[in-house]
Amino acid sequence: MLDVVVVGGGPVGLYLGCLLARSGLSFTVLERRQRPGTHSRAIGIHPPALQGFQELGCAEAFLAAGIQIRRGVVRSGTEVLGELSFASASRAFPFVLSLPQQQTETLLAEHLERIAPGTLQRCTEVTGLQQRSTHVDLTVQNGDRSCSLQAKFVVGADGCRSLVRSLTGLEYPGGTYADTYLMGDFPDTSAYGQTAVVHLVNSGVVEAFPLPGGLRRWVVHTDVLNLSARPRDLVDLVEDRTGLHLPAGDCSMLSAFEVHHHAVSRMCAGRTVLIGDAAHEVSPIGGQGMNLGWLDAQALMPALMVAVRDPDQGALAMMKMERRRLRSARIASRQAELNMSAGRPTSPAAQFGRELLLRGLLSRPVQPLLAQAFTMRWL
Ligand SMILES: Cc1cc2nc3c(=O)[nH]c(=O)nc-3n(C[C@H](O)[C@H](O)[C@H](O)COP(=O)(O)OP(=O)(O)OC[C@H]3O[C@@H](n4cnc5c(N)ncnc54)[C@H](O)[C@@H]3O)c2cc1C
């Protein structure tokens, strides 16, 4: 009987594994994939997460691998509407770290292996779950072998299509926004350096973020979801809207995506808890989903420690944790919606109003507040 089984070794499950490794509880992290996913997703790591990595003793590895984005600039045509400095976001980490999710998962998995060897079990898929009054029974598939595991608590960190969530009967209401995007990574031929740049254009936003390895990620709002897009399509959109030319032949990643939002109304059911995308999916425009999951894991740890010792007291601690984390997810979701709406196609007249509003938001007195919202200070 283990104290805790974590289902899912994505960024959130791996981070929770690292926290569990320091807690003295017995645990394992079960991950069905053999290695981190190659599909490109998150790049932004915010100061509260970096603080957490520092406490774990792995911040140095992240800082060595990533790019520190210390400011963002909002442009309209050739004009700069304003700047957002992250200097006030955190004393220790006054920046957002840019690192592709695949590398983030690799670094977390390496750290977990260092501090708790063998606790991450890859190629291991959870296929069944039964809640009992004293524990949870899990059915696990590893290649041709099927076996069972028992744990006092199970944490579902198994992403937005969570099996743990469906087996515990928790609903996941939400929907899909009308917004669609095309993103791609190219060698950075811009003069933007380590700055993130948002081009507000009335035909749809163009965002550009520096990546490690001399690359830059471009994300553009599109009229439709173009799943058969080629690099040339993205290059043309960027050129039409900003006048900037990208080297189409050197595109190293291209992905068209639509944007979903979902959230459970309860994260806990009996001896099962959901965290990360299994509990809430927020729009990636704003770049907070993965970080939100890490903050769930931080908040869950003390409640889990109590619950393993004393389930009755633990239920109260879990309830408080759940209320706090679902509130954070709602705030992050609203913020992401505001970000999306600022980048939607619009008429020239409405664009003028939008620019005026943004100039106000990026003005000196308001800027630190905006920087703190963007870097998840109160989530
Ligand atoms: C285009 C895009 C850009 C984004 N940018 C950002 C960003 O900049 N910053 C940010 O914070 N967030 C961003 N996000 C969101 C971020 O990618 C997700 O929030 C994050 O991946 C959630 O992590 P997770 O560990 O909860 O779930 P996942 O990453 O989905 O991981 C779940 C893991 O569980 C495993 N699993 C599933 N079922 C089982 C099972 N039955 N048994 C065993 N294992 C199982 C899966 O294989 C997977 O490894 C972005 C998302 C997208 C799509």
Predicted structure pTM score? 0.96
Ligand 1 centre and the CA of 24: distance in Å?
Answer: 27
Residues whose CB is less than 8 angstroms from the CB of residue 192 and which lie 6 or more positions away in sequence, other chains included: 73, 208, 210, 216
Tell me, using a 6 A CB cutoff, whether residue 355 lines ligand 1: no
Tell me, using a 6 A CB cutoff, whether residue 288 lines ligand 1: yes
Tell me, using a 6 A CB cutoff, whether residue 30 lines ligand 1: yes
Give the per-residue pLDDT at 39. Answer: 78
Tell me, using a 6 A CB cutoff, whether residue 125 lines ligand 1: yes
In ligand 1, the atom with minimum distance to the C-alpha of 255 is 1
Q: How far is CA 12 from the centre of its chain?
A: 9
In ligand 1, the atom with minimum distance to the C-alpha of 127 is 41
Tell me, using a 6 A CB cutoff, whether residue 8 lines ligand 1: yes
CA–CA separation, 274 and 269 (whole Å): 9
Q: Are 28 and 2 spatial neighbours (Cβ–Cβ below 8 Å)? A: yes
Three-class DSSP labels, 202-270? CCCCEEEEEEHHHEEEEEEEECCCCCCCCHHHHHHHHHHHHCCCCCHHHCCEEEEEEEEEEECCCCEEC
Residue position matching structure tokens 């079960």? 30
Tell me, using a 6 A CB cutoff, whether residue 159 lines ligand 1: yes
Smallest CA separation from ligand 1 atom 2, residue: 41
Most ligand 1 atoms within 8 A of CB, residue of 33, 69, 277, 375 to mutate: 277
Most ligand 1 atoms within 8 A of CB, residue of 147, 290, 294 to mutate: 290
Q: Are 346 and 357 spatial neighbours (Cβ–Cβ below 8 Å)? A: no
Give the per-residue pLDDT at 368. Answer: 82
3-state secondary structure of 69: strand
Smallest CA separation from ligand 1 atom 52, residue: 41
In angstroms, the first-to-last Cα distance of the chain is 34
Tell me, using a 6 A CB cutoff, whether residue 376 lines ligand 1: no
Angle at 105 between CA 207 and CA 10, to 5 degrees: 95
Tell me, using a 6 A CB cutoff, whether residue 7 lines ligand 1: yes
In ligand 1, the atom with minimum distance to the C-alpha of 30 is 43
Give the per-residue pLDDT at 195. Answer: 97
Which residues in the chain show pLDDT less than 50? none
Most ligand 1 atoms within 8 A of CB, residue of 6, 30, 32 to mutate: 32
Tell me, using a 6 A CB cutoff, whether residue 184 lines ligand 1: no
Give the per-residue pLDDT at 80. Answer: 93
Tell me, using a 6 A CB cutoff, whether residue 46 lines ligand 1: no
Q: Which residues pair with 182 in a beta bridge?
A: 220, 256
Tell me, using a 6 A CB cutoff, whether residue 126 lines ligand 1: yes
Give the per-residue pLDDT at 106. Answer: 97
Smallest CA separation from ligand 1 atom 16, residue: 290
